[in-house]
Amino acid sequence: MPQTSPRGRPGRTTSGRNRRPGRAARSRKRRSLRGSAQLRLRTGFVLIALVLSFFGARLVQLQGVEQQKYATLAASTGGTVTVQLPATRGKILDRNGRPLADSVDGRMVVADPLVTRPHAARLARFLSTRLHIDYFQTLHALSRKGTRFAYIAMRVPASLAVRVVNEAAARGFKGLDTRNDPLRSYPDHDVAANLVGFMGTDGPLAGLELTFDKELAGTNGSETYEVGAGNRIPLGRSTVTPARNGTDLHTTIDEDLQWYTQRVLRQTVLGARGDSGFAIVMDRRSGEVLALADYPTYDASDPQASPPKDRNSLAMTSPYEPGSVEKVLTLSALIDAGKVTDRTRLVVPGQLKSGDRIIHDWFPHGTLHMTLAGVIAQSSNIGTAKSSRLFAPGQLRSYLTRFGLGQRTDVGVNGETAGLLPSKAAWNGMLQDRIAFGQSVSVNGLQEAAAINTIANGGVRVSPSLIQGRATTNTGQVVGTDETTRRRVVSANAAHQMTQMMERVVDPNVGVAPLAQVPGYVVAGKTGTAQRVGPRCGCYNGQFTVAFAGFAPADKPRFTVYVVVQNPRNGGGGGSVAGPAFSKIMSFALRRYGVPPTGGTPSHLPTTW
Checking if the pLDDT of 77 tops 60, the result is no
> pLDDT tens-digit profile of 500-515?
999 999 999 999 999 9
Asked which of 22-31, 242-251, 397-406, 451-460 is least confident by mean pLDDT, the reply is: 22-31
Confidence category of residue 73, pLDDT binned at 50, 70, 90: very low
529 - beta bridge partners?
546
pLDDT for res 20 = 52
Secondary structure (3-state) at 341: coil
Secondary structure (3-state) at 21: coil
Confidence category of residue 11, pLDDT binned at 50, 70, 90: very low
Confidence category of residue 17, pLDDT binned at 50, 70, 90: very low
Preceding peptide of 234 cis, ω within 30°: no
Confidence category of residue 12, pLDDT binned at 50, 70, 90: very low
Confidence category of residue 70, pLDDT binned at 50, 70, 90: very low
Confidence category of residue 389, pLDDT binned at 50, 70, 90: very high
Q: Rounded to whole angstroms, how far apart are CA atoms 107 and 104? A: 10
- 200 alpha carbon, distance to own chain's centre: 13
Q: Are 269 and 242 contacting, i.e. CB atoms less than 8 angstroms apart?
A: no
378: exposed, middle or buried (Cβ count in 10 Å: 0-12, 13-18, 19+): buried
* CB neighbourhood size of 279 (10 A): 32
pLDDT for res 533 = 81
Contacts of 375 (CB under 8 A, 6+ apart): 327, 331, 346, 348, 383, 384, 387
Closest CA to 104 of 161, 150, 152: 161
Greatest mean pLDDT among 168-182, 239-253, 485-499: 485-499
414 half-sphere exposure, CB direction, 13 A CA radius: 21
pLDDT for res 42 = 76
Secondary structure (3-state) at 381: helix
The continuous run of DSSP H or E covering 195 comes out as helix 193-196
Confidence category of residue 87, pLDDT binned at 50, 70, 90: confident
Closest CA to 223 of 175, 160, 179, 287: 179
Checking if the pLDDT of 238 tops 80, the result is no
User: Which domains are seen in the chain, by residue range?
Assistant: 106-175 (3.30.70.2110), 255-592 (3.40.710.10)
> pLDDT tens-digit profile of 297-343?
999 988 989 999 899 999 999 999 999 999 999 999 999 999 999 99
Greatest mean pLDDT among 92-106, 263-277, 526-540: 263-277
The whole-chain average pLDDT of the chain stands at 89
Compare 495 and 85 and report the one with higher pLDDT: 495
Checking if the pLDDT of 16 tops 50, the result is no
The continuous run of DSSP H or E covering 345 comes out as strand 345-348
Mean pLDDT along residues 77-86: 69
Helices (H), 272-361: 314-317, 327-336
Compare 13 and 383 and report the one with higher pLDDT: 383
